[in-house]
Chains A and B, each alone.
Chain A
Amino acid sequence: MYLKHALRAATALTFVATAAAHAQSITIATVNNGDMIRMQGYTDKFTEATGIDVEWVTLEENVLRQRVTTDITTKGGTFDIMTIGMYETPIWGANGWLVPLDGLSEEYDVGDILPAMAGGLSHDGTLFAAPFYGESSMIMYRTDLMEMAGMEMPDAPTWQFIKEAAAAMTDRDAEINGICLRGKAGWGEGGAFITAMSNSFGARWFDEEWKPQFDQPEWADTLNFYVEMMNESGPAGYATNGFNENLSLFQQGKCGMWIDATVAASFVTNPDDSTVADHVGFALAPDTGLGKRSNWLWAWALAIPAGTQQEDAAKQFIEWATSKDYIELVAESEGWANVPPGARTSLYENPEYQKVPFAKMTLDSILSADPNSPTVKPVPYVGIQFAAIPEFAGIATQVSQEFSAVYAGQQSVDEALAKAQAFTAEEMEAAGY
């Protein structure tokens, strides 16, 4: 008892001390992506303007997810703003864990947020998180290697073309792999890629009765195509490659093509980091002619957990960080290519931004993604590379682990699909579907 009181007293003292030192201070949990880190550098401007201090907790994506989920479900109240994605926002919003982002100021112009993004970050028409940047996925390819292979990339290629082009570009002696794709286990890594890809092959996660569909031929087609192409033209050890690994490979000139997040475009075309900056072209993610392409839709967004003591300050920060002014601030000092993309319509109407080589393809990719109708056959869920139900993250991570074991040559496609089917059925039944 005594110990408890002593600790409480000590805590209270520290609290008083910090409270006295700073008039107002908010704590933000965020992911360690380049755009977020850049934002931290500009925080001083926000503090100057408002007098509100900002404390950052920057974590790697997996750790961040674990940390904020624990805190929100237990109502821990550690953070005043959390960086979350399109998957979490509608689920948390429905649970009443997030502060609705209404009553935003006039100049913030909430109507300017791209409808696809606003839609994915809302529940029942209420916006619960403001997109800091949004992304779809598209093809990034080496124009020089494509030319050398004697081929030409159409704006909207098919998977068959990609496979042929990959084989033609591959030069093992020069350490050039025709294609680099995610294979890493995890629902937000390889899981997201293969799910988006499967949509273009006519596959789906669940039918209208929430029955898992891994026993259907479309999934086998997707996986067989992927494995065959990657074994033929992919880099060694692709089963452990995620976004970051592939980005490194591409920047080092070791990939002919890379299908991944549209935000990567600014990294691969930045001459400071990329050895191939001058030879990058863009195209829409491939399809198979069934009417759906294999691009996804995602946004990293800022949300306020319900119950925070700093709701007003937090709202002020979100308005600042996701505003048009912030985009201009970054553009002024870092150039238009480096502003956070994919969140606002006005950015794509800006003639300065239209000069950026990947601007149009990014917008086209985002516009062609429809989370409400992601698949060829009808589905009961919302989301393209995920299904927005609470059970999905856990299930998809395990399913993608089975897939990664296929990529590593440890089991066959059929074995993995059988396991995925059994496991998903088990979990869905447990969850009461």
Chain B
Amino acid sequence: MARAVTSRRKSLNTALAWAVGLLIFFPILWTILTSFKTEAQAIASPPLFLNFDWTLENYAIVQERSDYMRFLWNSVIIAGGSTILGVIIAVPAAWAMAFVPSKRTKDILLWMLSTKMLPAVGVLYPIYLLFIRLGLLDTRGGLVVVLMLINLPIIVWMLYTYFREIPGEILEAARMDGATLKEEILYVLTPMAVPGIASTVLLNFILAWNEAFWTLNLTAVDAAPLTAFIASYSSPEGLFFAKLSAASTMAIAPILILGWFSQKQLVRGLTFGAVK
């Protein structure tokens, strides 16, 4: 009896959850489908769902117009570089906050978050002038540093919440055994922190990948990432839904695939220690 009820409930849940999931995913699905249509089919009325002649011509046109791989590569370097650099700087800070907390730890943490509230447009001129002075315009190095600084507060905070979950007793036991600070970090802490670091890396990679103000305004050719790639498709002339869809699909596909394969880590990453 009870089993039958559960089973029926499970079916209901499944149906409802799938319906909601597909609804939320639909705009992305629609974009992907449209990218395989011709321009005329893309605006057909009534809309065509699957019954159209699948074509790759939009992708060919987009690729011919702009060298996708170069933008992709810049995105990977900038998002990856800023994340790695950020983690290297954040790990010691988060470690210190978690294991040697002082009265001011929380204040420092919250102050760090507040630096994220500086409106980017308001400081475009200062930063642009600074970049010219330092010769960093249109360099990946410059963007890596800027995006690292933008995301550093989030990285520190996430790592802090993970480190705090590591029981202090283990560290004390290690210390009793005469482990030095270096050994403590290397052999005791790091293995326990790897999952947390992994999810932090993932989340920040996504945030850096999607950042569209600085990556657009501080680059031209050499360092231009996918956000600049998409900026040249936002309103071409004439019928453009299909080409826009193809460019959009190309811009989001890498991160979408990465996200899907690593969603377990990401789910952990998004908890911010909120579970405890």
Interface residues of A (CB under 8 A from B): 3-4, 7-8, 10-12, 14, 18, 27, 29, 32-34, 37, 40-41, 55-61, 63, 66-67, 70, 74-79, 242-244, 247-248, 251-252, 267, 273
Interface residues of B (CB under 8 A from A): 39, 43, 64-66, 124-125, 128-129, 131-132, 134-142, 145, 216-217, 220-222, 224, 228, 231-240
Complex CA distance for A41 and B135, rounded to whole angstroms: 31
Contact yes or no, B220 A244, CB < 8 A: no
Which residues in B have their C-beta under 8 angstroms from that of A244?
A: 235-238, 240
Contact yes or no, B217 A7, CB < 8 A: no
Complex CA distance for A34 and B236, rounded to whole angstroms: 7
Shortest Cβ gap from A308 to chain B (Å): 13
Which residues in A have their C-beta under 8 angstroms from that of B132?
A: 74-77
Complex CA distance for A27 and B228, rounded to whole angstroms: 15
Contact yes or no, A57 B128, CB < 8 A: no
Which residues in A have their C-beta under 8 angstroms from that of B134?
A: 4, 7-8
The majority secondary structure among interface residues of chain A is helix
Shortest Cβ gap from B42 to chain A (Å): 11
Instruction: Tally A-B pairs: CB < 8 A.
Output: 104
**Given A37-B65, A76-B137, A78-B138, are A32 and B221 also a contact pair (CB < 8 Å)?**
no
Mind listing 23 A-B residue pairs with CB under 8 Å?
Answer: A7-B134, A7-B141, A7-B145, A11-B135, A29-B220, A34-B237, A34-B238, A41-B64, A56-B221, A57-B224, A58-B232, A70-B217, A74-B132, A75-B132, A76-B132, A78-B138, A244-B236, A244-B237, A248-B43, A251-B239, A267-B237, A267-B238, A273-B239
Shortest Cβ gap from A14 to chain B (Å): 7
Which chain B residue lies CB-closest to A75?
B132
Instruction: Please provide the 7 A-B residue pairs with the shortest distance between their CB atoms, ordered closest to farther.
Output: A58-B232, A60-B234, A55-B221, A78-B220, A7-B141, A34-B237, A11-B139
Contact yes or no, B237 A10, CB < 8 A: no
Contact yes or no, A74 B128, CB < 8 A: yes
Contact yes or no, B222 A18, CB < 8 A: yes
Complex CA distance for A247 and B39, rounded to whole angstroms: 14
Which residues in A have their C-beta under 8 angstroms from that of B64?
A: 41
Shortest Cβ gap from A406 to chain B (Å): 23
Shortest Cβ gap from B62 to chain A (Å): 11
Complex CA distance for A307 and B30, rounded to whole angstroms: 47
Complex CA distance for A357 and B141, rounded to whole angstroms: 53
Shortest Cβ gap from A81 to chain B (Å): 12
Which residues in A have their C-beta under 8 angstroms from that of B43?
A: 248, 252
